[in-house]
């Protein structure tokens, strides 16, 4: 495994706010999040199958630092040490993901008992530490055996998408993957359901659709642009089928973790407003409307999706016990510039010329090491807009991810970021939005997908040469903050 060198600690800078946070409800759920592919390692051990990300990382130039997740943070072997960190932090819940290929190596068929045994041990360790286990059943690690299966055929129900012809392929382009996912969900629930109360079906289907199938920047590396839309529908269908499987096993506390952020038009012109509206549909409403309203936001868009869409929506829109939102940043969007020389780029990604919108940089804001603008008040805006848009159809909300990439064991910028976003979250609570919990991304530095090990989101620093865990200043700040909240 090739990794980037570890950074030297940076001096502690003055914080924008050291005053105590406003009081959150006493039953507010505080947690941290991780995902299996990013921390577990043990890729070739104990019967685990290959994931789409394992295969993607094998391709030259796909991971910026040339690394892979074969070892990651070695959580598979060091989970007891990591649970001790959770206990010391004082969080009430730990959101982790279950690796589909560790449980069902080929994505369907034979179950790997050793994989279930690992999560058995992890759940028991969490409960013994007084930390609620919150498993996410899918966090982008599609079994590669499903991804390579050419079982999708042409797009059904709508013919060619955007005039690009039929799409063949496996993974989430294939309807059968939704059914295999539900069977896997049933397997996990059968083993862990006696001790797990709160379940998450999917993490961020929008990003997998856009970056994995649409633009090819993430696994599985397909560049289908609008022909990626079947992957969105099939993930949502897989969610609905998994909800049915979990309910059949007695689960009464089920949600999903969708990524959302406000979309801001670059100007008041009709062209920029229309471009921003379309972007908002594709990144926000395409995934929230079917779940919360039982319909897609646009009839023409729905006509392009595969399968018996009306019947599928009845499965997709089963009531949720809560709705998870991952928030990182808003997006400024305008119409493409026809006079621009060369392909447009955003966040280091080369955008296809046929896209009818163009994300723009948000100026005059501090930026994380990832280059993302820090806009905490946009979290308040997002939550208020969800309450306005969905009304009584919106169940209680959990912030299932919020965090930032900064180097250093002394990380004052992360403290400032978390402090500001928690204040913004409290503003939404005070305005009447029913938010029940907040999860920091992430417990520890990890394999950050196509960025490799170059971006550090963790409250705990990982030395990737020795795998030593070192709590950062932000870890201690959050521990003290949670203690203060508990005294309230």
40 catalytic per annotation: no
Residue 289 falls inside a structural domain: yes
Is residue 6 assigned to a domain?
Answer: no
In-domain check, residue 1: no
Amino acid 348: pLDDT: 73
Residue 270: CATH number of its domain:
3.20.20.80
Q: Name the pLDDT band for 120 (thresholds 50, 70, 90).
A: very high
- Residue 152 in this model has a pLDDT that exceeds 50: no
Number of domains in the chain: 1
In this predicted model, what pLDDT tens digit does every residue of 444-474 receive, in sequence order? Answer: 999 999 999 999 999 999 999 999 999 999 9
In the prediction, which pLDDT does 342 show? Answer: 64
**Domain that residue 44 falls in:** 29-487
| Marked catalytic residue, from 40, 125, 132, 401 | 401
Tell me, yes or no, whether 317 lies in a domain: yes
Q: 3-13 pLDDT, tens per residue? A: 333 333 333 33
Please write the tens of the pLDDT for every residue from 188-208: 999 999 999 999 999 999 999
**Given this model, what pLDDT does residue 338 score?**
82
Based on the residue annotation, tell me whether 361 is a catalytic residue of this protein.
Answer: no
Per-residue pLDDT at 343? 67
- Quick check: is 7 in a domain? no
> pTM above the 0.95 mark?
no
What's residue 351's pLDDT? 85
Q: Is residue 18 part of a domain?
A: no
Say which of 40, 125, 147, 204 is annotated catalytic.
204
Query: Residue 159: pLDDT above 70?
Result: no
Residue 431 lies in a domain: yes
Q: How far apart (Å, rounded) are the C-alpha atoms in residues 205 and 257?
A: 9
In the prediction, which pLDDT does 160 show? 28
For 128-139, how does the pLDDT look when each residue is reduced to its tens digit (9 = 90+)?
999 999 999 999
Residue 4 lies in a domain: no
């Amino acid at each position: 495994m090739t990794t980037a060198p570890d950074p030297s600690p940076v001096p502690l800078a003055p914080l924008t706010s050291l005053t105590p946070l406003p009081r959150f409800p006493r039953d507010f759920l505080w947690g941290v999040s991780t995902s299996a592919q990013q921390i577990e390692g043990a890729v070739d051990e104990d019967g685990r199958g290959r994931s789409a990300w394992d295969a993607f990382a094998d391709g030259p130039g796909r991971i910026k630092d040339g690394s892979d997740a074969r070892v990651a943070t070695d959580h598979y072997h060091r989970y007891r040490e990591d649970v001790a960190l959770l206990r010391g932090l004082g969080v009430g819940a730990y959101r982790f993901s279950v690796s589909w290929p560790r449980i069902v190596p080929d994505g369907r068929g034979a179950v790997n008992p050793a994989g279930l045994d690992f999560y058995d041990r992890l759940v028991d360790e969490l409960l013994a530490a007084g930390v609620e286990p919150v498993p996410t059943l899918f966090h982008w690690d599609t079994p590669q055996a499903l991804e390579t299966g050419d079982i999708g055929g042409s797009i059904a129900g709508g013919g060619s998408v955007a005039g690009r012809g039929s799409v063949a392929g496996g993974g989430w382009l294939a309807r059968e993957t939704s059914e295999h996912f539900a069977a896997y969900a049933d397997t996990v629930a059968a083993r862990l359901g006696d001790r797990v109360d709160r379940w998450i079906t999917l993490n961020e289907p929008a990003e997998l659709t856009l970056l994995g199938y649409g633009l090819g920047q993430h696994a599985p590396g397909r560049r289908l642009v609008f022909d990626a839309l079947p992957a969105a529908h099939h993930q949502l269908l897989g969610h609905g089928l998994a909800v049915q499987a979990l309910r059949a096993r007695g689960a009464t506390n089920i949600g999903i973790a969708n990524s959302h952020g406000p979309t801001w038009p670059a100007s008041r012109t009709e062209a920029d407003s229309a471009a921003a509206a379309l972007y908002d549909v594709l990144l926000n409403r395409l995934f929230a409307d079917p779940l919360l309203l039982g319909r897609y936001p646009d009839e023409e868009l729905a006509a392009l999706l595969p399968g018996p869409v009306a019947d599928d929506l009845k499965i997709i829109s089963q009531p949720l016990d809560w709705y998870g939102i991952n928030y990182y940043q808003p997006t400024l969007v305008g119409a493409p510039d026809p006079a621009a020389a060369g392909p447009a780029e955003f966040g280091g990604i080369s955008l296809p010329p046929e896209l009818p919108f163009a994300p723009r940089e948000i100026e005059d804001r501090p930026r994380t090491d990832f280059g993302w603008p820090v806009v905490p008040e946009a979290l308040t805006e997002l939550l208020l807009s969800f309450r306005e848009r969905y009304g009584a159809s919106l169940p209680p909300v959990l912030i299932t991810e919020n965090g930032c990439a900064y180097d250093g064991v002394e990380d004052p910028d992360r403290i400032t970021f978390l402090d500001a976003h928690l204040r913004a979250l409290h503003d939404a609570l005070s305005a009447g939005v029913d938010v029940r919990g907040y999860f920091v991304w992430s417990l520890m530095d990890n394999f950050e997908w196509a960025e490799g090990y170059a971006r550090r989101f963790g409250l705990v620093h990982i030395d990737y040469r020795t795998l030593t865990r070192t709590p950062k200043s932000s870890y201690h700040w959050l521990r003290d903050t949670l203690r203060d909240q508990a005294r309230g």
